[in-house]
Structure 1
Amino acid sequence: MTDTREELATKVDIADWLSLRAHLERGGVIVVDPLLELIEVGTALAADEVQKVQRWLSTGLLTKPSHEQVQTWDADKGKIFNCLIISPYVLIQEPVKP
């Protein structure tokens, strides 16, 4: 699992919303709450840790983008996210503001 975590850490990227929006159309975008670490979520998905992922989903720490979020992001042409692809999903997380 450590190898997977280290490998995924190298795959975290930054992308603007317009680049990510195409993945929304196929239902592949998952929003990761800032309380979670993006790499931890990616590792859990890659390892098929169903109970952990279900817990995050049930508590709202992992969600599909809401209609309101999409409208807000569409209006902000420069909106960026940290992202991690765990096929077929694209995990996105708003960067934490210092």
Structure 2
Amino acid sequence: MSDLRDELRETLDEAEWEWLIPHVQRDAVILVSQDLDLLDVGEAIASDNISSVQQWIDEQLLAKPSVIQMGEWNSDRQKRFNTLILQPYVLVQEIAA
């Protein structure tokens, strides 16, 4: 396992939607599909693996949260997400209810 992956693993956490709102307001949140491993995505972004990241974007597995999604989350401010901070971004993945 790489040192980068170990470093990223240490920053994995859970957060409530309420805590993520300031990051959304600065356009720094990236929603990661539940079909992907959050650490894999973080590692790809941190190591400039452009081909993987572009493929995930093309397949809509990585995206900015939509207005509809944010509206749903605003109605449930305790909604929880797995998070990975990768300056300047916060990668988030919905936790199934």
Give TM class, smaller chain: over 0.9
Of all paired residues, the percent bearing the same amino acid is 44
Which amino acid in the other structure matches residue 31 of structure 1? L
Q: Which runs of 5+ in 2 are unaligned?
A: none
Equivalent residue number for residue 11 of structure 1: 11
Shift of 1:78: 1.0
Shift of 1:50: 1.0
TM-score under structure 2 normalisation? 0.95
Distance 2:96 2:46 in 1: 24
TM-score under structure 1 normalisation? 0.94
Equivalent residue number for residue 69 of structure 1: 69
SS of corresponding position for 1:10: helix
Q: Which runs of 5+ in 1 are unaligned?
A: none
SS of corresponding position for 1:84: strand
Please provide the CA RMSD for this pair. 1.2
Which amino acid in the other structure matches residue 14 of structure 1? E
Equivalent residue number for residue 55 of structure 1: 55
